[in-house]
């Protein structure tokens, strides 16, 4: 039964249990409030004239601030549970006292007191229900369940109206006060029960049962908090304008009703019928429309429903208010039907991103002081225009139209601020996650440098220096310079090598002294440094200082002979450099490495030697040769560099060097990127080169290649486009192409769910095929978010994607809510169900079958779809499944895989065919 009701009300499993007690709480509060309104109006109008009602409203506005101040004072000493339950017990005792005085001691001063008391209770008590709901529900739960909870307000109003009619007729108006006492006591018990259950893992942020929270700010502090936050100011402005408009409209309704129905009993019957039928209509809207409206169109549209209805109602009063009472009914329906059913849950959603320690104080202030302040302004306006200027109830609509326009502006700003606040929440999570996973190389290295300048720490220092060198961070650091005086010769040598690569000339005097170092390796590095950076004659130093390593002597001589000036002899330098470059084997590696390093500082006269070193088998030698190409900007060697781009050991160096050529090589990169004959491992690295170039021409090449069939290549193209547009937002994106690719990616993700459903529908399975499919689907989602970032760079979709991967329910819900509010309705309808954690795999499979059309009927179809995919890994997993499951009918698909450029796929296909052959042999035997 519960599941049937959840489906009927468009709720997820378990939502009914989460919302039922809160529904009952709000039901009783609203029933008692309607009864209180009926009692106060009847008792007040029995003693005073209707024209005096605005004065009572002004008294409420004046006193509510003092009441809230006392409420906050109690909050400094009580937990939220005790604060809510205690205030309800206080209200209940008040109603009992009022009943006693009204029943046994009729005094004229009592009725204005009851009127003002009901006005204050009507603001504070319903707001407490929503405060508690904010504490026990996440954003996504609230978005689904708030409609159900809000329906308790309307159901309570319907019950309260009918109950008031019966009680007043049978036992008199005063008896309603006694009935309220019982209802408010029941509400206090419900608060305790809800708090204990902490519905669905209530997110009370560490508030323990019975615990006293941190001391909340005073009323003045609440004002400061409200004024200091643009988001809270926007909510306050929205509440203020809504209060003014609805209060003026409420007065118009009463005035027009009195004009058409002058009799007391007839007017009371009309009010009763109106509230009864309006309540039923509002309840139907609440149950059947609110949740769907919020989920389909988002909060932005929901916030505009009531002001739009009020604008139409005011127009009706201006045109037909003097002719028919239906104009007044239509105006009041905008409040009674839509405000509590749609507007109230929507406004409550605005509070969800607010920190709990701020929410409890500021929300109470807005819902009480700000709301009643709006009522006071409305009362002043009615007195000014209706009493002083003599405007009719119809004419007052012109004043209300102005405030309705302000309501529209406030709703727009509040929604914008809401989206911005959600973005800040998920950005904070992303920044925290990135900091937690960021490389610690810089911090670790510097800490080792700072703490390890002792002889016993040589191994740590060498390790850190190695990391520093490999990472490509060539900026000299004071800690490195200090290591030139380290007692360990290996440390001195390594530090000097890093300083030489960084071209740091501040250490020349220290290096001069190192020429006399007792260790040969240190003297050799010092000679290399000076010959490259100090323009010294190596022969003179050799005669003065004696023994040095052979390769350092040759390197120093080449540098000396190639340097422009009177001593320059390029032919001799070329001969010596040729000998260094051609020194074979592992024993010649140090000499070739020195030659490669030397080419970066020599004049551009040694291209043949550079070509030879680019093809060297040692990656360290090749790495320095690649850097030399960049230093000399050798355009003719670009094709040589591209040949080494697929070598993972050299990819970063090649990409960095190619990026320095800029637009001059974009055409070459385009040809290689789109050429199926170029090895795939090279093509996959080209997007990173284009990202480094970062020009409009590079961006166009990437856009043209977005439809590449290889999924890894497509992912890297998207990554490169994201980087380019982050660094150069002025480059316009081809929106039509991006939208086309986005639609294809989403459709592909739905197709993946079809396959998953046929394979068993368990995303957590560790079966190889399912694991591969799961990884592929994660990549599909990431590609979707990268495309969204390109289409809408003003929104932080990267943070939303990180938030959706969080195990924290609040962060996940905030990310989904952010998407709900920034995506276009058509895109939201197809994408959000794929990301919502409350929608299980089976439901997504059913959505996929509706979306894609053709179903994946059996296991063979699913595996055939894997082998037919564009992702080599998925194809490999499909081929593996064919072999392991012995699917002879799909053997023909393995033949196509044997010629695929991906080596893993080829090997898997060969293994699968061999297994099928072995299985066939076993059956034949």
DSSP 286: I
CB 554 within 8 A of CB 576: yes
Distance, in Å, from the CA atom of 627 to the CA atom of 536, rounded to the nearest integer, reads 24
- Contact (CB, 8 A) for 367 and 236: no
Integer Cα distance of 18 and 128 in angstroms = 17
Map tokens 């440390």 to a residue: 491
> Would you say the pTM of this structure is higher than 0.85?
no
Q: 325: left (phi > 0), else alpha (psi -120 to 50), else beta?
A: alpha
Q: What is the pLDDT averaged over residues 845-863? A: 74
Q: How confident is the model over 45-68, as pLDDT tens digits?
A: 677 766 677 778 788 878 877 887
More confident residue, 148 or 402: 402
Out of 384, 414, 432, pick the residue that ends a domain: 432
For residue 411, being part of any structural domain is answered with yes
Residue-wise pLDDT for 183-240, tens only, equals 999 999 998 888 887 644 444 444 444 444 444 445 677 788 888 888 889 999 999 9
Distances (CA, A) of 401 to 220, 256, 315, 374, 888: 33, 18, 8, 16, 75
| Residue 547: pLDDT over 90 | no
DSSP-based three-state secondary structure for 402: helix
Report how far residue 251's alpha carbon sits from residue 395's, in angstroms, rounded to the nearest whole number. Answer: 13
- Rounded CA separation 768/764 (Å): 11
Q: Is residue 557 part of a domain?
A: no
Say if residues 118 and 177 touch (Cβ distance below 8 Å): no
Q: What is the DSSP letter of 862?
A: H
Rounded CA gap, 601 and 562, in Å? 10
Residue 522, in any domain of the structure: no
Non-local (6+) Cβ contacts of 154 within 8 A are 30, 279, 282, 283, 286, 340, 341
Question: How many Å apart are CA 22 and CA 416, to the nearest integer?
Answer: 29
Answer with the one of 432, 460, 493 that is the final residue of a domain: 432
Name the residue with tokens 């603001």. Answer: 123
Per-residue DSSP letters for 108-134? TTHHHHHHHHHHHHHHHHHHHHHHHHH
446 versus 371: the higher-pLDDT residue is 371
* 531 or 30, greater pLDDT: 30
Kindly state the average pLDDT of the residues 381-404.
Answer: 88
Report d(CA 153, CA 176) in Å as an integer: 18
Beta carbons of 815 and 714 less than 8 angstroms apart: no
User: Is residue 441 domain-resident?
Assistant: no
pLDDT band at 600 (very low <50, low <70, confident <90, very high): confident
Q: Using CA atoms, how far apart are residues 128 and 109, in angstroms rounded to an integer?
A: 29
Residue 28 has pLDDT above 60, yes or no: yes
Judge whether 29 and 129 are in contact, CB under 8 Å: yes
Name the residue with tokens 């109003």: 157
Please give the C-alpha separations between residue 612 and each of 579, 598, 625, 810, in angstroms, as whole numbers: 12, 14, 9, 59
Residue 423 belongs to a domain with what CATH number? 1.20.1250.20
Range of the domain at 821: 741-924
Using a pLDDT cut of 70, give the percent of the chain over it.
Answer: 81
pLDDT value of residue 477:
62
Q: Are 385 and 167 in contact (CB under 8 A)?
A: no
Residue 29 contacts residue 350 (beta carbons within 8 Å) = no
417 within domain boundaries: yes
CA 64 to each of CA 39, 51, 124, 245: distance values in angstroms, whole numbers, following the listed order: 20, 22, 9, 19
From residue 614, alpha-carbon distances to 36, 390, 474, 685 in Å are 90, 94, 21, 18
Residue 901 lies in a domain: yes
CB-CB neighbours of 917 under 10 Å: 11
Predicted local distance difference test score (pLDDT) of residue 14: 65
Per-residue model confidence (pLDDT) at position 336: 82
Q: Please give the tally of structural domains in the chain.
A: 2
Nearest-CA neighbor of 676 among 709, 722, 627? 709
Residue 283 lies in a domain: yes
DSSP conformational letter for 262: -
User: Is the separation of the CB atoms in 873 and 892 below 8 Å?
Assistant: no
Q: Is residue 689 part of a domain?
A: no
User: 3-class SS at 749?
Assistant: helix
Please say which residue of 402, 432, 462 terminates a domain.
432
Is the Cβ–Cβ distance between 836 and 454 less than 8 Å?
no
């Amino acid at each position: 039964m519960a599941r049937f009701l959840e489906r009927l009300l468009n709720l997820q499993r378990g939502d009914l249990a989460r919302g039922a007690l809160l529904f009952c709480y709000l039901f009783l509060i609203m029933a008692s409030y309607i009864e209180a309104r009926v009692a106060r109006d009847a008792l007040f109008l029995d003693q005073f004239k209707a024209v005096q009602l605005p004065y009572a409203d002004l008294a409420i506005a004046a006193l509510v601030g003092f009441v809230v101040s006392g409420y906050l004072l109690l909050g400094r000493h009580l937990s939220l549970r005790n604060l809510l339950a205690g205030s309800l017990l206080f209200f209940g005792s008040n109603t009992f006292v009022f009943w006693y005085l009204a029943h046994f001691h009729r005094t004229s001063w009592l009725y204005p007191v009851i009127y003002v008391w009901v006005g204050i209770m009507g603001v504070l008590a319903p707001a407490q229900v929503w405060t508690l709901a904010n504490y026990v529900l996440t954003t996504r739960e609230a978005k689904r369940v708030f409609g159900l909870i809000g329906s308790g307000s309307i159901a309570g109003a319907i019950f309260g109206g009918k109950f008031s009619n019966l009680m007043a007729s049978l036992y008199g108006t005063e008896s309603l006060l006694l009935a309220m006492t019982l209802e408010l006591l029941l509400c206090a018990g419900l608060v305790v029960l809800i708090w204990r259950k902490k519905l669905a893992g209530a997110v009370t942020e560490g508030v323990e049962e019975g615990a006293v929270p941190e001391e909340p700010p005073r009323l003045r502090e609440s004002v400061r908090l409200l004024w200091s936050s643009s988001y809270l100011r926007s909510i306050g402005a929205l509440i203020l304008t809504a209060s003014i408009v609805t209060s003026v409209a409420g007065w118009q309704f009463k005035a027009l009703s009195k004009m058409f129905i002058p009799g007391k009993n007839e007017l009371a019957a009309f009010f009763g019928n109106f509230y009864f039928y309006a309540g039923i209509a509002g309840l139907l809207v609440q149950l059947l429309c609110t949740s769907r409206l919020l989920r389909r169109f988002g909060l932005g549209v929901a916030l505009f429903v009531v002001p739009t209805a009020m604008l139409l109602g005011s127009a009706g009063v201006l045109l037909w208010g003097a002719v028919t009472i239906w104009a007044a009914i239509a105006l009041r329906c905008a409040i009674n039907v839509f405000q509590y059913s749609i507007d109230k849950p929507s406004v409550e959603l605005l509070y969800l991103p607010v920190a709990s320690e701020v929410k409890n104080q500021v929300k109470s202030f807005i819902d009480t002081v700000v709301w009643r302040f709006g009522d006071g302004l409305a009362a002043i306006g009615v007195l000014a225009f209706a009493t002083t200027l003599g405007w009719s109830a119809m004419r007052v609509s012109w004043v209300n139209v102005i405030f309705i326009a302000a309501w529209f502006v406030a709703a727009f700003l509040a929604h914008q601020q809401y989206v911005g606040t959600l973005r800040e929440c998920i950005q904070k999570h992303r920044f925290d996650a990135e900091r937690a996973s960021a490389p610690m190389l810089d911090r670790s290295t510097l800490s080792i440098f700072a703490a390890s300048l002792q002889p016993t720490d040589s191994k740590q220092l060498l390790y850190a220096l190695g990391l520093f060198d490999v990472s490509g961070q060539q900026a000299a650091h004071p800690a490195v310079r200090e290591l030139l005086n380290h007692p360990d010769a290996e440390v001195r040598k390594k530090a000097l090598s890093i300083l030489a690569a960084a071209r740091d000339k501040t250490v020349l005097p220290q290096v001069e002294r190192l020429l006399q170092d007792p260790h040969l390796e240190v003297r050799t590095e010092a000679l290399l440094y000076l010959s490259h950076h100090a323009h010294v004659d190596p022969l003179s130093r050799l005669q003065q200082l004696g023994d040095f390593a052979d390769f350092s002597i040759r390197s120093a001589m080449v540098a000396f002979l190639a340097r422009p000036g009177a001593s320059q002899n390029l032919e001799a330098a070329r001969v010596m450099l040729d000998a260094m470059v051609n020194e074979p084997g592992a024993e010649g590696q140090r000499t070739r490495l020195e030659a490669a390093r030397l080419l970066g500082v020599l004049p551009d006269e040694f291209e043949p030697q550079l070509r030879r070193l680019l093809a060297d088998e040692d990656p360290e030698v090749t790495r320095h040769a690649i850097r030399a190409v960049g230093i000399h900007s050798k355009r003719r060697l670009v094709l040589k560099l591209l040949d080494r781009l697929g070598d993972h050991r050299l990819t970063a160096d090649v990409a960095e060097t190619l990026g320095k050529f800029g637009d001059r090589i974009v055409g070459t990169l385009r040809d290689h990127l789109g050429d199926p004959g170029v090895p795939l491992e090279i093509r996959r690295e080209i997007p990173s080169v284009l990202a480094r170039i970062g020009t409009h021409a590079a961006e166009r090449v990437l856009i043209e290649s977005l439809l590449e069939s290889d999924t890894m290549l497509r992912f890297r193209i998207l990554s490169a486009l994201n980087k380019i547009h982050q660094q150069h937002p002025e480059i316009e994106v081809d929106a039509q192409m991006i939208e086309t690719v986005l639609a294809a990616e989403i459709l592909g993700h739905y197709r993946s769910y079809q396959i998953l459903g046929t394979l068993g529908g368990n995303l957590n399975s560790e079966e190889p095929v399912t694991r591969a499919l799961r990884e592929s689907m994660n990549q599909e989602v990431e590609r979707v978010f990268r495309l969204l970032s390109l289409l809408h760079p003003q929104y932080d979709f990267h943070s939303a994607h990180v938030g959706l991967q969080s195990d924290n329910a609040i962060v996940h819900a905030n990310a989904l809510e952010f998407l709900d509010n920034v995506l276009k309705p058509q895109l939201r309808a197809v994408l959000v169900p794929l990301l919502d954690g409350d929608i299980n795999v089976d439901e997504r499979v059913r959505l996929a079958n509706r979306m894609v059309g053709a179903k994946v009927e059996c296991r063979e179809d699913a595996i055939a779809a894997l082998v037919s995919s564009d992702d080599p890994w998925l194809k490999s997993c499909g081929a593996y499944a064919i072999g392991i499951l012995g699917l002879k009918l799909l053997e023909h698909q393995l033949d196509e895989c044997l010629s695929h450029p991906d080596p893993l796929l080829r090997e898997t296909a060969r293994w699968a065919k061999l297994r099928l052959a072995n299985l066939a042999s076993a059956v034949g035997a």
